[in-house]
Structure 1
């Protein structure tokens, strides 16, 4: 009996931690963000450059987003996991040309309080590496 109670408590604890972590990661992204810097290379070492009039994203608590990145499609769904961000635009016939086999545009994600940095992991990958910094608005 004691083993059953202990195992039940342990399993419930593990399950609740996993869902809380995911909610925390996604909720940290909720809000308005603007592309402000790009980490690029012109064949040599990488360096940060300022981006003027960068695209904007708004992430909502219900797992949807809006963006002005593409004029052909401005909405979709998003999800996060441990260190990743996945975007899927929801317009019929829209092809951003950077989706993975499952239809998502994926990135490595470094999420901080007032900014996040993404590095593309699907579609055309920058040969010399590239990352993009979005600042909370």
Structure 2
């Protein structure tokens, strides 16, 4: 009987509620990408050096990055372009789509500044002469 009580006690301890992860638990570099980012500029070369200035984009698509390492890319009319999981560290972002129009994993070189994120594709799709996409933090 004692053995049964001990087993049930251990089982009850093992089934306690899992601790919830909060944004404060995430590494600082990971926190930088969390939230909503809207595309508002691009630099794309058509055969020479990159232009000096970003071409402004109004109502660009919005990337949303969540604490659970999921993302969603939505057009300005709320059409889901892509959603799935992501991996981010100091200077790289890898998105792994699970549905939407984008079907293959993509990687980007990331430059973060205050309320600004610049992405440059690094694979598998590359811009031969170069391209940069600027996103502005919405929240």
TM-score (norm 1): 0.69
1:1-137 aligned at under 5 Å gives the runs 23-47=27-51, 48-68=54-74, 71=79, 74-91=82-99, 96=102, 99=104, 104-137=105-138
Aligned residues: 109
Root-mean-square deviation over aligned CA pairs: 2.2
More strand by share: 2
> 1:81 offset after TM fit, Å?
1.9
Unpaired segments ≥5 residues, structure 2: 1-25
Unpaired segments ≥5 residues, structure 1: 1-21
CA deviations over 1:25-48 (Å, ceiling 9, x no partner): 211111111001101122233122
Write out the 4+ residue segments of structure 1 that deviate beyond 4 Å after TM superposition.
Answer: 69-73
- Higher-Rg member (1/2): 2
More helix by share: 1
